[in-house]
Structure 1
């Protein structure tokens, strides 16, 4: 990963110091989070700001290096789509998928 300090700071600020997938904050995680490539480098992704997501370790590990092939659904991209397009949040905080992308993201 060749992400500059300036890019790292931009991703950090853009995310408001919280995981862009699940919303956990640095305060809750008790540390800075990680910068993840939405499209993994191993699958052709780059270090452009648009491809970088601020992510907690749990979401980063869950996503791993997944990248859809053929007609597989994509994981939700919090940089592109609002969560409400793919999920409904119940009163107890659980997410219920509305789309194939939401289902893949929630259920793995």
Structure 2
């Protein structure tokens, strides 16, 4: 399996955003980080994907302000600012040609961690 990297953005704003490494296709780890079943929010015209709790609204999870603001920042010209992310967020890359999850863009990881 291929090792991929991404950004883990905890919902709790007191906890740091972390760079994480996982085996590509290890959906159990993604479920563990997110806290349950997940869905993917694709970013138009950007190579990032946001993994969020699929049942965030049903579980009444709190808003992930940092994850939401990052999504809005990447989609500023697309008027996607109606979408609000709930719970923990994992940012990875878009799937490759055969559907395997890829790493988040390293420049995005570096930029977010430098804030």
TM bin (shorter chain): under 0.3
TM-score, reference length from structure 2: 0.27
Higher strand share: 2
Rg larger for: 1
Q: Which has the higher contact order (CA 8 A, sep 6+)?
A: 2
Counting helix residues as a fraction of each chain, which structure ranks higher? 1
